[in-house]
Structure 1
Amino acid sequence: MASYLVTGSSRGLGLALVSRLASLPSAQVGKIIATARQDNSPQLTELVNTSSGRVELVKLDVTNKSSIQEAAKLVEGKLQGKGLDYLINNAGLMDWSSTGLEGMDNLNDIFHTNVTSVHNVTQAFLPLLRKGEKKVVINISTTLGSFAKAEVYRQSPTPAYKISKAALNMLTVQYAQQYEAEGFTLLAISPGWLRTDLGSARADLPVETGAEKVLDIVQQTGPHQNGKFLNIHVPGWENASGNNQYDGEEVAW
């Protein structure tokens, strides 16, 4: 029974990931720690209340180091001496600048949430991950952070988001290299363009599909994929027209 912690669980992909995990057999998925900055999400509250104790909510503001440290202590208690198997760094922000770089006035805020906070959370939970059997850390990224695909997404007016996710991918590689000898697996995964508040109703895929396909990768991964940047696989989307294809392959950096 593997244990999971998901950041940014109050809505969007984070909420869908927790919901999907809770739907899987308890023999496969044990304790699910859903973290969120606020505890006022009705959907997440309902998940917690109907999970027979499998899903537990921990307050965690990923941008606040004191909140991260306090959450790590609470999670340690909830795991009752056991380690954490999977950490999914999902919390993130996206900018929107209609004038591109000239209008980009929030790079520090976006970078802090999407990169620095991922480092701070991972760092704080390393002791629990070391005690876990799986030792897997997943960083939710995007193909918009790929240098190789920069031309494809030239028109997307989200410069700070692109910059921060490119940096997140390198952070993932740095962690993968440093902790490889300890049996860790660090992955960046692009979940696709999903119909969430962040992705909009015009997006390609329902958020539930993104969550399912992300977890397909997560639950099959291991040290052989350490440091990789992977795309989800959605049958029928492998060679789709347009900017986005979901072929399950490694994303070109």
Structure 2
Amino acid sequence: MALTFVVTGASRGLGVEFVKQLSAKGHTVIACARNPDKSEQLQALVNNKTVFAVSLDTVKLDSVKAAADKIQELAPSGVDVLINNSGIVGDHTQDVTNATGENYINVFETNVVGTSNVTQALLPWLRKRNTRKIVNITSILGSNDFTTTGSSPAYRISKAAENMLSRGWAGQLGEESFVVLAMHPGWVQTDMGTSKAPVTPEQSISGMLSVIENMSKETNGKFLSFEGEELKW
């Protein structure tokens, strides 16, 4: 059955691959990015029939509202699945001994506040449908069980917070038959993951879409990998 997806951070990397694979499956995809017109990869997929591009800056409320209004126009019967993929790593050269407050705030604002802004704005359209799935693309680096040094603390801490945000949404919306997941895409060959990563975007997205297809009330509030493995918070 064809569904309507909203994907944020869709101008490159995992976002573009989400759009590519979802559209190939026959779904309608509303691809959101700060500057969608500047992404040749995304524009190559946009046909304004089943794949649409919408300008969205997740940390600017006026942009979020304008995007939500556009999404209502494009999908008047509602949205089935929201994939909050937008995120930044910040200054990865910093560690806990020299991380700046500015870096912490900037990364937290995008990875946590931005996710919250979009989810709040699109909740009325998600409620119009019975599918009711929300997926927050997070990272195992945000797990308190992950053994690590103090590198990239702003990113890691923001992802731990995004995980908690996911659990909050799951608890709040579970009685409305929503299913909310935090999902780790793997270490992927993207600008953020670098070419050293062992997982291709194609493999990551294919795995995540399989997990999304099988989301149910039993998986509400879980933290899963792209392979469907349950991860520790």
Q: Is this contact kept in 2: 1:115–1:167, CA < 8 A?
A: yes
98 and 56 in structure 1: CA distance in 2 versus 1, 3 angstrom threshold: closer
* Aligned counterparts, 1:92-241, within 5 A: 92-105=87-100, 106-149=103-146, 151=147, 153-154=148-149, 157-233=151-227
Q: Secondary structure at the match of 1:179?
A: helix
2:68 is aligned, of 48, 53, 72, to 72
Q: Structure 2 stretches of 5 or more lacking a match? A: none
Which deviations, in whole Å up to 9, do the C-alpha atoms of 1:155-188 show, x marking residues without a partner? 6x21111000000000000110011111111100
Work out which of the residue numbers 22, 44, 47 in structure 2 matches 1:46: 44
Percent identity between the two aligned chains: 39
Does residue 4 (structure 1) correspond to residue 5 (structure 2)? The answer is yes
Aligned to 1:237: none
Are the aligned partners of 2:112 and 2:162 in contact in 1 as well (CA < 8 Å)? yes
Say which is worse superposed, 158-167 or 97-106, in terms of deviation: 97-106
Distance (Å, rounded) in 1 between the aligned partners of 2:169 and 2:107: 21
For the pair 1:87 / 2:99, whether they are aligned, the reply is no
One-letter code of the match for 1:12?
A: G
Question: Secondary structure at 2:57's aligned position in 1?
Answer: coil
TM-score normalised according to structure 1 size: 0.88
Displaced runs of 4+ in structure 1, greater than 4 A?
none
Aligned partner of 1:241 in structure 2 is none
* CA–CA separation in structure 2 for the residues paired with 1:56 and 1:103: 42
Deviation for aligned residue 1:104: 1.4
Aligned length: 229
CA contact (8 A) 2:90 2:106 kept: no
Classify the secondary structure of the residue corresponding to 2:182: strand
**Partners of 1:128 and 1:224 in 2: CA distance:** 23
Q: What is the CA RMSD across the aligned residues, in angstroms?
A: 1.2
Deviations 1:115-158 (A, max 9, x none): 01100100000000000121100000110000011x2x326x21
Query: What's the secondary structure of 2:117's corresponding residue?
Result: helix
Shift of 1:99: 4.8
Distance 1:109 1:147 in 2: 22
Alpha-carbon distance in structure 1 between the residues aligned to 2:34 and 2:68 = 14
Query: Residues 22 and 54 of structure 1 are in contact (CA less than 8 Å); yes or no, is this contact kept in structure 2?
Result: yes
Which structure 1 segments of 5+ residues have no match?
234-247
Tell me which amino acid in the other structure corresponds to 1:136.
K
CA distance in structure 2 between the partners assigned to 1:232 and 1:59 by the alignment: 27
Judged with a 3 Å threshold, the aligned counterparts in structure 2 of structure 1 residues 97 and 41 are, in CA distance, closer, same or farther, namely: closer
